[in-house]
């Protein structure tokens, strides 16, 4: 099986060349708070990336189970930042136009930053509801909890610097 070298290079560009020094020790997976939920461990995502096994990497549920806790990054004996590697896989997934509900949430989040400059959580939850109707129960439950506390506010005010924010995404996010 011949790996996809273009994919490997793209991951390395986004996550750092030091990823190549991975010794497959599995410290990242051992540190991971959501490892028990994953199909492929973080260690395997690194291996897939280095071997150019693009489809296996991008189809892993693990890509969307990372909580960004950074414990893998704190502990990696090679100074690799596995959380950034997971981010690279998400980024590639999104740029290729692939879709799923986890990607939908992230996409809405980033769109809102581009549109308004800030996040309105109520608006975000409402928009996500359309992408993932199964989230209705938890969204309603949370809404009923927060509404009487005065914590549900829909802000649609824009910051002045939205053009600058848009160019951050456009220029720095270029493939």
Q: Where do contacts with another protein occur on this chain (CB under 8 A)?
A: 14-15, 33-34, 37, 64-71, 73-74, 84, 86-91, 94, 101-102, 104-106, 109-110, 113, 117-122, 125, 128, 132, 135, 138, 141-142, 145-146, 149-153, 155, 159-161, 164-165, 167-169, 171-173
Least separation in angstroms between residue 2's CB and another protein is 27
Q: Of 23 and 147, which CB lies nearer to another protein in the complex structure?
A: 147
Write out the two tokens for 56.
């296996």
Least separation in angstroms between residue 152's CB and another protein is 7
Write out the two tokens for 21.
């020094």
Q: What CA–CA distances, in Å, run from 109 to 115, 123, 134?
A: 10, 10, 18
Write out the two tokens for 35.
């490892």
Q: Of 1 and 154, which CB lies nearer to another protein in the complex structure?
A: 154
Least separation in angstroms between residue 52's CB and another protein is 20
**Nearest alpha-carbon partner for 71 in 62, 86, 57, 81:** 81
Q: Of 2 and 157, which CB lies nearer to another protein in the complex structure?
A: 157
Q: Of 4 and 132, which CB lies nearer to another protein in the complex structure?
A: 132
Least separation in angstroms between residue 78's CB and another protein is 15
Q: Distance (Å, rounded) from C-alpha 56 to C-alpha 61?
A: 10
Q: Decide if 66 contacts 34 (C-beta within 8 A).
A: yes
Q: Of 47 and 139, which CB lies nearer to another protein in the complex structure?
A: 139
Least separation in angstroms between residue 161's CB and another protein is 5
Q: Decide if 75 contacts 60 (C-beta within 8 A).
A: no
Backbone angles phi, psi at 28, to 5 degrees: -60, -45
Let me know if 153 is exposed, middle or buried by CB neighbors in 10 A (0-12, 13-18, 19+). Answer: exposed
């Amino acid at each position: 099986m011949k790996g996809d070298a273009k994919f490997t290079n793209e991951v390395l560009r986004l996550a750092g060349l030091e990823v190549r020094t991975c010794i497959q020790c599995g410290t990242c997976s051992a540190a991971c708070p959501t490892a028990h939920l994953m199909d492929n461990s973080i260690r395997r995502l690194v291996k897939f990336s280095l071997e150019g096994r693009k489809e296996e990497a991008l189809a892993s549920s693990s890509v969307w189970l990372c909580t960004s806790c950074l414990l893998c990054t704190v502990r990696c004996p090679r100074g690799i930042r596995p959380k950034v590697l997971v981010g690279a896989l998400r980024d590639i997934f999104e740029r290729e136009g692939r879709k799923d509900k986890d990607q939908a949430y992230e996409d809405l989040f980033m769109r809102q930053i581009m549109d308004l400059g800030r996040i309105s959580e109520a608006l975000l939850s409402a928009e996500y509801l359309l992408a993932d109707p199964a989230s209705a129960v938890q969204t309603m439950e949370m809404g009923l909890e927060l509404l009487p506390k005065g914590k549900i506010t829909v802000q649609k005010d824009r910051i002045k610097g939205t053009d600058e924010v848009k160019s951050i995404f456009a220029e720095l996010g270029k493939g």
